[in-house]
Each structure stands twice: as structure tokens, then as C-alpha cells.
Amino acid sequence: MTRFAAPIAEAIWDMKYRFKAPDGTPIDKTVEDSWRRVARAVASVEDDPSYWEDRFYAALEDFRFLPAGRILAGAGTGRQVTLFNCFVMGLIPDSMEGIFENLKEAALTMQQGGGIGYDFSTIRPKGAPVRRVGADASGPLSFMDVWDAMCRTVMSAGSRRGAMMGCMRCDHPDIEEFIAAKSDPARLRNFNLSVLVTDAFMEAVKADGPWDLVFDGKVWRTVRARDLWNRIMRATYDYAEPGVIFIDRINAENNLYYCETISATNPCGEQPLPPYGACLLGSVNLARLVRDPFEPSARLDFDELEELVRTGVRLMDNVIDVSLFPLPQQWEEARAKRRIGLGVTGLADALLMLGITYGSAEAVAATEDWMHRIARTAYLTSAELAAEKGAFPLFDREKYLAAPMLMKMDEEVRAAVARNGIRNALLTSIAPTGTISLYAGNVSSGIEPVFAYTYKRKVLQPDGSRIEEEVVDYAVQLWREKHGDKELPEHFVDVSTLTPQAHIRMQAAAQKWVDASISKTINVPEDIPFDAFKDVYLEAYAEGCKGCTTYRPNPVTGAVLSVGEKEKKPEVVAKGEGEPAQPHGDVVYISEPLDRPQELQGTTYKLKWPGSEHALYITINDIVVNGRRRPFEIFINSKNMEHFAWTVALTRMISAVFRRGGDVSFVVEELKAVFDPRGGAWMEGRYVPSILAAIGGVIERHLIEIGFIEGEGLGLKIDPSARVVPLEEPPRGPVCAACGSFDQRMIEGCLTCMDCGYSKCG
């Protein structure tokens, strides 16, 4: 018997959360081993570790409580990774030294697996004088390009690219350029973008008044507020960004209003955080708590819900003490405030099992009730923990009890906090749960509606054949088990049938009892008129939301495939299930590195750099996949010991890229673009800007010789892990970086692959 409700769930566990040795040998033999590993690690700080290990294991069992992916993958492994999901970096000083010091901190954070958020409003606008050097500033967008390039380079936690949120205030002089940045399909691809919207701006929009763009106390120019607002709305309609963050509301409703100011969020928006703020995430799986589903007696088990919340709060509080942190400032911030982000997933499935239509008045009432119960139990539990272990260090009883969330709480909660203090300054958040919801049996994600009840994925078999596997929503699967092929009831709505207003009502209902924020995407159809779309953010503001994100299929970010379009996508293979198919016979996409055969075909090239005493010897070995030769590994050797470190680094990094598959020709272009400030050299009648560019030329020559690319300069210029689309084929949207599938869906701000489950957000 397997614990997994669907094959894709087991594939996700094996690929992302199963502890394996460096050579790929599984250490976690079963998912129970993974649960035990996590439970033991987070219980290690308790006075009675064995007792709490069993309690934590019981909560994890059967996917009832779902710690975020970094906890599942990292706890108890001994790896040098953080268990925290969310970081906002320090304020960026308006100086070259400060900017690049922050860039270094961002790289260190992403190296350990943290997603980061930044407020770029502190950098002077484009054209501002730089007095000491007699030049004009290039503006914050140019430095965001540097961050974007860094993020492309740093592999987050060794297995996935980092994710970033870039924020800018609505009164920054470069705000219009920021709003339009994502219109370029090649720019800032590693960023989510959000405008920090103030209450004053919203009032100016309503009044159709003037709006000053200001930096360092100086008004650069004045625009019509409504014109600027319409730019935001037109941009998000045309290419799905930027989102908006109602920053004044966030600060006014912050439990820690008295000791911090927030100006950015983590990449998906569910955690507004101060400079160096850190938060970890976990979700109660509501879909597992419904008793008698689809029956007149169907109900949510409130006793179990509250028990899971109590256990989850303690488990997450312990994670703060067992986690590593990339920077000491993050460690200090986390321990001073002990933020956690407890949320839910499977809400839409739970509603379906109770016979409630998502977005209806009944669903709104149920959502508000459930989140109230969760918040109340979480605050009481944290107050009890404070009596046992102490309140968070920056707790100020009088000021904390005056926070809006505490003012809404009943007298029992307020009395407990007044008596004991509270262990965790903030406790609730609704995170993007795209991958862990698949791991939990394809339950609906977070508080999102069900996107599609069924879809197909292609799975490669050991004999090389492919079968089509149906992936079914968790609630639909339960319905089938009870009722066979009987038609789904009318209350089974999905994202294609919902209005933007239904999304907003659900988000606002949950927000009332969430002290942080909510990651949610309002998916709208491509053919929605702009006039029906343009007031979505205004409605979100009016309903009390802290931010808003929309996604409309568009030519820049691509179309989210509908169920009926599934048959059009190329056959590709799910992660970790063998050799992938080639959509056009030209590029192989894989997610797990290929095993090295005993013998490989290869070629060695001699490269003599002018002026260097010793030559470089470059060996490139190839593997044959689906009858096609492709690079598998590279070795760069030299007798010059000054070259030793960087040649070893290149050998390891380029070989790792080659073994991941896809169109790796971008490596050539990246190397050829490197210039040496000391000067290049003339080789074979042409100027080569650096020895690294010369190595790129050798690799290019090899790729041409084996037929991997057609000729010089014809490799990919950037690395989106995307194949080249023939001119006669219309663009099909972004391709999955792991398996090559075009079937990606925007779920809570994260493009999530429905074939293999890959998401840059976790």
C-alpha cells in the first residue's frame, strides 16, 4: 500500500523532498522516513524530544500538515541550507558600494535556498547627478538587471533557480519605466514586480488628482494619478505584471507597527517583511479534514483542525531554532520576532466535498469562519508557548495588544497574551502551495479555486514507450470513488467559470484573519475586455486586501492552456521518469542528471592563449540520446597552476549544465560574452575578448561538429531553458525549465508545470 493518492504525488516527493545521497542513492526509503526525519529534526530542541517527535510525525502523517518545501527537503539532512522560505533584504543604500554589498547578500541568500524581496525605491532615478564622478545615474532598473543576471547564475539550494520580488513606490520618478519593464519578454525574468501603492495615491486616483513623483525630497515631475493607475492596469492586462501591494495598509495592520517599517514582500507576496525579515511557512491541508464528503452530513472536523494548528505552531516555532540562515542579520531578525506563516491548502477541495460553490456567499462565510478558528487557536497556542519558553524578545505588551488583529480577537485570546506574552509576533499567512499540494495528492492550492479537474501527462516507460496518465483533482477522485462516472454536481466550479469578483471576495474573507498576507492569483480569460478588468485592483483595495495579483494569458508571458488544448502540446516526460521525448527532435529536456555510462565518445582540443606559457587542453565527452549526440561533460586542464581553481570550477559547472539537458548552447554565448579588462587577444585573425571567450569558441566548434547547433553564432543567447520555436509555429508561452512542457499554470504568482510539478517558487 502506498500513502500517495496519485502517481504524480510520489514523483514530486522523490524529486524534491526525498533525502538522497550525493550519488542519488535514496536515504529516505519511504515517505514515512521523510516524515520521521523532519519530525526528529524539529523536535531536537524540545526538553522531551521523543514525545514531540511522535506528535510532529502524527501531524505530518497522511499529508495533514504540510511544512513548506524547504523544511521537507532540508530538515534533518545536515545540508547547509536554510529552512526559511521568505526573506526581504536590507534597504539598499544609494551608493555603488551599498548596492553591490546588497547584491552579494542576495547571492548568499539564494545560494542557501531563500527567495528574496527588495525595495528598489531607495536608488536615485535615472538621470540624477552622481556628484563625485561627474556622471548621471543609470537608475534602479539598470541595477535590477544586474540582480536578474545574478539570479540566473546562482542555483538556489543547488537544485532550482532563485525567485525575487522587486518593489518600487508609486511616487518614485522611475515608476513608469518600472511598470513597463516586463513588456520586454527577455527582461527581469527572475523577478516578480509589484508597485508599492499608498493610501494617498489611492485617494488621488479616486479624485483624479495630480500626483508628485519625488526622490530625496525633490519633486521631479507631476502626473495625473489616474493616468499612472491606468498604466499599471494596462501593463498587468497586457503582460500580467506588475501586481500591487497596499503598503500603508500593511504597515497600519502590522502587529509590529511599533518597531518596524515594511517596504517589500517575499517573491509571492504572502509575507510583507522588514529589512532582513525572514519567515517560514506551513499549511494545514483542509481537504484531509472533511468527514463524510459529498454526503448531507459532510463537515469539517474542527477538533482535528485545531489540534493540527496547535501542533503546527509549535513545530514551526522550533524550525526557527534549528534552521541555518544565510546572513547573521536574518538570524537576529528571526529570533527577535519569531515570525511564522501558518496557512491552509486544499480549501477549494474542502468546499467541494461540503457541497459549497467556491466564491458564493456560503463559501465566503465558511472561509472567514475557518480562518478565524485557525487564527484564534494559533494565537492561544503561541501565548501558551510564551508561558513555557518565553515571549519573542521585542514583545511590548501594551503596544502589541493595540494592534488591529489583537483588537479583533476575543477576550480569552487578549487575556492570554496580556498574561503570558506571545511567542510569535505574527502567525498566519497563506502561501503558494503549488508543489506541496501536488505532493499531497493534487489537492487544490492554497485558497485558490480548482484550476482544472483533470489533465493529462506523458510518462515514459522502461521499454521506451509512452503512456498517457490522467492527473485528477483530489476532490474529483474522491467523487469518482463514491459515484463512479456520475456527472459532477453543479457546484463543481473551476477557475474558468469564476469572475474576478469571486476571487476577490474569497481573498478578502481570508485576509480578515491573516495577520501577514495572502499569495493568490486572480486568473482571468484571455478574452476578458479591458473595461471588465481594469477595476480589479480597485475592488481588491475596497474589500480590504493587502495586495492583488492577476494573470491574463498574453503574448509576453504566454497562454495558460485550457483543458481542451492539452492535445496540442508536445509529448514530454515527467521528472525523474527516464529519458525525455524530443518535441521537435532537436532538444532533449530532462530534470534529473543522466547517469554516466562506462564509455563516452569525446574529443580533446588544444587551446594556446597568446602570451601564456602553458596551453589549455579541453576534452568534451558526448552521450547519445534518442539517436542524437549531445555534450555530457567537459574537462579543462592546464599545467599553469594559476588557472587551477577557475578551470576546475568551469569543469564542474559546465558539466553540471550539460547533464541537466535542454538546449545547452547558451553556455557558448555566455562564455563568448566575457571580456577581460586587461585586454583580449587576436587568434586566427579575429579578436577574442578573454580566455573564457576562447573556451566558449572551442565548445561552439565542438557543438557544430557533432550537429548540436547548425553553425557559429546560432546557439541560444539566454538561458530560459526554452527550445527555439520554428517561425511557422506561433509562440506557445513559457516552457518548463525542467521537462520542456508548455502546460504551465499561474498558481499564486508561480508558474507551475502540470506535467512534472516544477515551480520556481517551491
- Catalytic positions are 266, 268, 270
Residue of 437, 468, 440, 439 lying closest to 450 (CA atoms): 437
Question: How is residue 85 written as a grid cell?
Answer: 522560505
SS3 for 555-609, per residue?
CCCECCCCHHHHHHCCCCCCCCCCCCCCCCCCCCECCCCCCCCCCCEEEEEEECC
How many CB atoms lie under 10 A from the CB of residue 133? Answer: 8
Q: What single-letter amino acid sits at 655? A: S
Q: Give the chain's count of helices (H) and strands (E).
A: 25, 31
50: Cβ contacts below 8 Å, ≥ 6 apart: 43
Q: How far is CA 697 from CA 388, 417, 674, 705, in A?
A: 64, 66, 12, 12
Q: Hey, what's the torsion of the CAs at 583, 588, 589, 590, to 10 degrees?
A: 140
522: Cβ contacts below 8 Å, ≥ 6 apart: 500, 503, 504, 536, 548, 549, 550, 551
Q: Is 553 helix (H, G, I), strand (E, B) or coil?
A: coil
Provide the H-helix boundaries in 633-690.
Answer: 644-660, 666-672
Round to whole Å and give the CA distance between 168 and 196: 6
Round to whole Å and give the CA distance between 338 and 748: 25
Round to whole Å and give the CA distance between 721 and 699: 18
Q: Are 706 and 632 in contact (CB under 8 A)?
A: no
SS3 for 351-362, per residue?
HHHCCCCCCCHH
Q: Is 225 helix (H, G, I), strand (E, B) or coil?
A: helix
Round to whole Å and give the CA distance between 235 and 120: 19
Strand partners, 169: 196
Round to whole Å and give the CA distance between 279 and 760: 18
Question: How is residue 648 written as a grid cell?
Answer: 576546475
Q: Are 282 and 68 in contact (CB under 8 A)?
A: yes
Round to whole Å and give the CA distance between 536 and 539: 5
Q: How far is CA 393 from CA 188, 321, 334, 563, 697, in A?
A: 38, 14, 10, 51, 57
Q: What single-letter amino acid sits at 616? A: L
Question: How is residue 546 written as a grid cell?
Answer: 493587502
Distance of CA 716 to the CA centre of its chain: 25
Q: Are 207 and 213 in contact (CB under 8 A)?
A: no
